[in-house]
Structure 1
Amino acid sequence: MQTHGVATCVGIAWAVLLAVPIVSCSPASLSDNSTRTPAKGIDVGKLARFLSPTAKILFPGSTDFTAYTARWSNLEPPTPSIVVVAGIEKDVSKTVKFAFDYNIPILAYNGHHGTHTTLGKMDYGIEIYLPQLNTITIAKDMTSVTVGGGVNVKTLIDTLWEAGKQAVTGWCECVSFLGPALGGGHGWLQGHHGLISDQFLSMNVVLANGDLKTIDAHSDMWWGMRGAGHNLGIVTSVTTKIYDIVSPNWAIETIIFSGDKLKAVYEAANKDLLQNGTQSSDIHNWSYWQNDASLDPNNPVIIMFVVQEGVDVVDPRYTTPFHDIGPLMITPQSGTYKDLAAWTGIAKESPPCQDFGLNNPRFPIYLNEYNTTAMQKAWDIYAPAISGENNPYSLSIFMWEDYATAGVRARGVKSTAFAFRQDLILAAPLIIYAPNKARDLAVEQLGNKLRELVQEGTGRGSELHAYVNYAYGTEGPEAWYGYEPWRQNRLRTLKKKYDPKGKFSFYGPIA
């Protein structure tokens, strides 16, 4: 998801929402009745006059307002007062300018998967809803595509596929294309080409004062937007590289193990997949620790995905070591790149893409290898914490994502604000539970404890490497954007220049 935010304004007397029976109105009708404001301090009529005929302003209590403010995770969600549905890029610019002039918090929204607890600091203000900015324009030379700020992953993949093209995108179909990219952005093709943001050629960005600016590699802002972009502006469109489909066929083996095989499974993954950082660019390995009562009613199981590009059957040299361990189940499948999301449970129809009203905090950490001693310690706490009849955390998943990384590591470590190019694995416990204030602290403690145990195996001491797009929200700027003083200084300099009032500071704030 792409979420941009603003710092909560100190000293503002937060308004109480008025119970007005308004569903949704066009800007024209609102401009005729400027007194119909859903929150004190926001002159909706004046705002409406700035917007295009295709824009809409939504009020609390309407069906669309409820739909457009829904979150995938309900732990510390933002609570905007109104929603502006942008019809064109200038609607975003005009809304931000209005909010800047009247000192109103803003948060851009083109997905709903961000889980930072800092989002909850937005308890008043304007949400800018981007999904109507859904244009996809392939360049005549077929080397790039310009993508609107509201386009999601599946739409972009499908559109490019019909043209015989691909782009580096995120892997979850329901997530926006741009949101993950502003934090770096992982994807199935990164082993060849690098991160999502590494592909960018130019972008249209709305600055904190409302200016709409086109930037590229000649801008000092360019470096920061690719890794810490949520802090610097709202991207309304981007032009990014695209590639010919070289290998339409892909294959997967889903191999499931009981928990007692943990050390053997991940020792095999280190040796036969990671290969000391020399993993092939056509191989990806994910695994989940989650409950499956049909296979083990008392403990979670280990679900291992071995994914290979350009084949109809995963090469046995990658799978045989796992077969030899003694899995509970083996399921091979073959198809195309477009099948990957369904195979790994992240298609638009899959449970993770649905809004069930649950809390879904994650506690990410980057690794360079599987330390099976540390992982066993984490398992010994995780397994009993989520298992058992009527366990409130029974839907939880411990994710271990091993993408091919050669294309990511080939870029210079100083090339963008994304700091952790040399790391090989992204892990994260995802603790899923029904909203319950009494459990929030316990979940935070559990997630942090699991991450701390895994951290012990990295040899980094207290230096946590955390993917900003998965973050819980308390990790801090160094864990999200790198510990080197020059990195933090460069980010702070950009923040001071482009957002001195901290308007974009709800999501992974730099300071």
Structure 2
Amino acid sequence: MHHLPLKLAALLASAAAVSCQNYAQLAKQLSNTAQIYQPGTAAFNAAVLRWSNYSTPVANVVVVPGTENDVVQTVKFANQHSLPFLATNGVHGSITTLGKMTRGIEIHMSQLNSIVVAQDGSTATIGGGVMSKNLTDALWAVGKQTVTGTCECVGYMGPGLGGGHGWLQGRHGLVSDQYVSLNVVLANGSLITVNEHSELFWAMKGAGHNFGIVTSVTSQIYDIQHPNYAMETLIFSGSKVEAVYALANQQWLTNGATMPVDLINWSYWYFDPTTDAEKPVIAMYLIQEGVNKVDAAHTNPFLKLGPISTESVSGTYRDLAAWTGISLSDTPCQKTGNANPRFPIYLKSYNPIAQGLVYELFREATTAANSPFGHALFMFEGYSQQGVKAIGQDATAFAYREDNLLVAPLLTYAPNGPATDAIASALGNTIRQILFQGSGETSLNTYVNYAYGDETPAAWYGSDQWRQNRLSALKEDFDPAGQFSFYAPIRS
């Protein structure tokens, strides 16, 4: 007879004991609005379904808190039964470290979705389960707005804990730069308020996934100053890749040039055989606030390069997600069963030669016969940076305020076993390495919210030793057992 190791046997026995009592003990401690979903139910299946179906966390039960105290009680229950736990909301994090959760409790934050605007109109208190679009719409209805993630179907808190880029960051800074205070449930189940007087405040703004579950946050909000927006879309042949990005450098990124505060430049690469049957196209977006048509000073230089097509649209701030293909109804917001790994890198400017090299790799991957990556997308996000750079480089755990571009291939594919996963990993990392070498930087800077998972804490949180030391010390103080270590852990 084979005997299980004592530690494993104890864990299995604990899990079985919890299963047998059907979490009745926990249910007695929760509010009457909380819900517990068991495996095999439609509610459970919907709650654990993720946007990226690769290296996903595994839960034995889902708890949906109805109150802040429900989160406290769930964490305490998990600790009593030696169960891992993971808070979820928008489920767009695709980092492979999530796969290290192989059992335990998913704490689904969706019911903590209140939005309360302060009487003076300067702040709003936002539940930890609020989604970005819901916050935008609720604030818009009272003439207010704040920085949120750009994609409508992501949570508000998740991006912010990693810094959080958004359309309004040129005016106001990152999502996390708006935080005034946070209510946080720590690993030991205690509930604390974190603000400028707490040493944890610095860490929550950039490395917050490592320290607790945010049940609510009070953030700065602003009067709507520029409701109207315009966008010019220019579709280029891939043969013009070096020229397009050399021009982007010249316009906004080199020789003292900077992105105007009212302008955002995004671009996508994707294979669209109806436009070009042989190679991916470049979709260049020029987005300007406060106008009904993008200024010709921005569009004319690109028009001279000879795009395949152009399109002008005008509307309001709330149209931006649909214009850029990331609204609730667009493909990136659907849970299709695909794997969606990303391989992000921050850059200060484009290296046109490196752009040409990675374009060829992307072309081969998306157009080769029987390639699994035919629906891959390459994303280049160029936001205005004035609000981000106005805040001190050492003011928060977010380390990359001096970088101007967020670049990431998104290698969407249908999961087909370890061999395909390995090909995706090799391709994504090769692309990123070429961009890194072309940047001339000495450290790899990556956006933790897009991370693939094989990066290092130095890449996620900054390579300065003082940053690593400070985060490690805070981790030892607030989460010594490493219970918050499933998302880009400061230490493994």
- For the criterion TM > 0.5, the same-fold answer is yes
Instruction: State which of 340, 347, 366 in structure 2 corresponds to 1:360.
Output: 340
Give the match's secondary structure for 1:299.
Answer: coil
Q: 1:493 and 2:468 equivalent?
A: no
Instruction: State which of 392, 395, 399 in structure 2 corresponds to 1:419.
Output: 399
Give the match's secondary structure for 1:48.
Answer: helix
Deviation at 1:460, TM superposition (A): 1.4
Count residues with an aligned counterpart. 483
Q: 1:212 and 2:172 equivalent?
A: no
Residue 351 (structure 2) aligns with: 371
1:24-423 matched pairs, under 5 angstroms: 39=19, 44-274=23-253, 276=256, 278-423=258-403
Name the aligned partner's letter for residue 332 of structure 1: S
Residue 422 (structure 2) aligns with: 441
Deviation at 1:103, TM superposition (A): 1.5
Deviation at 1:179, TM superposition (A): 0.4
CA distance in 2: counterparts of 1:283 and 1:389, whole angstroms: 39
Structure 2 residue ranges without an equivalent (≥5): 1-5
CA distance in 1: counterparts of 2:14 and 2:229, whole angstroms: 51
CA distance in 2: counterparts of 1:440 and 1:270, whole angstroms: 34
1:432-471 matched pairs, under 5 angstroms: 432-437=412-417, 438-461=419-442, 463-471=443-451
Residue 3 (structure 2) aligns with: none
Residue 483 (structure 1) aligns with: 463
CA distance in 1: counterparts of 2:39 and 2:235, whole angstroms: 46
The answer on whether the counterparts of 1:306 and 1:319 sit within 8 Å (CA) in structure 2 is yes
Name the aligned partner's letter for residue 330 of structure 2: S
Q: 1:431 and 2:375 equivalent?
A: no
Name the aligned partner's letter for residue 317 of structure 1: A
CA distance in 1: counterparts of 2:322 and 2:133, whole angstroms: 11
CA deviations on 1:246-268 (whole Å, 9 max, x unpaired) are: 01100001111011100110111
Deviation at 1:11, TM superposition (A): 3.7
The answer on whether the counterparts of 1:227 and 1:417 sit within 8 Å (CA) in structure 2 is yes
Deviation at 1:68, TM superposition (A): 0.5
The answer on whether the counterparts of 1:17 and 1:81 sit within 8 Å (CA) in structure 2 is no
Deviation at 1:98, TM superposition (A): 1.2
Name the aligned partner's letter for residue 52 of structure 2: S
The answer on whether the counterparts of 1:55 and 1:85 sit within 8 Å (CA) in structure 2 is yes
Give the match's secondary structure for 1:57.
Answer: strand
CA distance in 1: counterparts of 2:148 and 2:141, whole angstroms: 16
Alpha carbons of 1:386 and 1:298: their partners in 2 closer, same or farther (altered >3 Å)? same
Give the match's secondary structure for 2:396.
Answer: coil
Deviation at 1:386, TM superposition (A): 1.2
Name the aligned partner's letter for residue 428 of structure 2: G
The answer on whether the counterparts of 1:252 and 1:306 sit within 8 Å (CA) in structure 2 is yes
Name the aligned partner's letter for residue 344 of structure 2: P
Deviation at 1:390, TM superposition (A): 4.2
Deviation at 1:49, TM superposition (A): 1.4
Task: Give the TM-score of the pair, scaled to structure 2.
Answer: 0.96
The answer on whether the counterparts of 1:273 and 1:285 sit within 8 Å (CA) in structure 2 is no
Deviation at 1:457, TM superposition (A): 1.1
CA deviations on 1:249-305 (whole Å, 9 max, x unpaired) are: 000011110111001101111112335452111100011110111111121110110
Task: Give the TM-score of the pair, scaled to structure 1.
Answer: 0.92
The answer on whether the counterparts of 2:163 and 2:176 sit within 8 Å (CA) in structure 1 is yes
Deviation at 1:101, TM superposition (A): 2.3
Deviation at 1:36, TM superposition (A): 9.3
Deviation at 1:12, TM superposition (A): 4.1
Name the aligned partner's letter for residue 281 of structure 1: V
Give the match's secondary structure for 1:444.
Answer: helix
Structure 1 residue ranges without an equivalent (≥5): 1-9, 19-34
CA distance in 1: counterparts of 2:251 and 2:14, whole angstroms: 58
CA distance in 2: counterparts of 1:411 and 1:490, whole angstroms: 19
Q: CA RMSD in A?
A: 1.6
Deviation at 1:170, TM superposition (A): 0.6
Deviation at 1:410, TM superposition (A): 1.0
The answer on whether the counterparts of 1:144 and 1:239 sit within 8 Å (CA) in structure 2 is yes
Give the match's secondary structure for 1:215.
Answer: strand
CA distance in 1: counterparts of 2:8 and 2:399, whole angstroms: 36
CA distance in 2: counterparts of 1:320 and 1:16, whole angstroms: 69
Deviation at 1:201, TM superposition (A): 0.5
Name the aligned partner's letter for residue 494 of structure 1: L
CA distance in 1: counterparts of 2:338 and 2:307, whole angstroms: 32
CA distance in 2: counterparts of 1:158 and 1:303, whole angstroms: 28
The answer on whether the counterparts of 2:14 and 2:82 sit within 8 Å (CA) in structure 1 is no
The answer on whether the counterparts of 2:232 and 2:311 sit within 8 Å (CA) in structure 1 is yes
Name the aligned partner's letter for residue 197 of structure 2: H
Alpha carbons of 1:199 and 1:94: their partners in 2 closer, same or farther (altered >3 Å)? same
The answer on whether the counterparts of 1:36 and 1:45 sit within 8 Å (CA) in structure 2 is no
Name the aligned partner's letter for residue 460 of structure 1: E
CA distance in 1: counterparts of 2:272 and 2:33, whole angstroms: 47
Name the aligned partner's letter for residue 198 of structure 2: S
The answer on whether the counterparts of 1:137 and 1:145 sit within 8 Å (CA) in structure 2 is yes
Q: Provide the identity percentage.
A: 52
The answer on whether the counterparts of 2:235 and 2:307 sit within 8 Å (CA) in structure 1 is yes
CA distance in 1: counterparts of 2:8 and 2:310, whole angstroms: 58
The answer on whether the counterparts of 2:14 and 2:81 sit within 8 Å (CA) in structure 1 is no
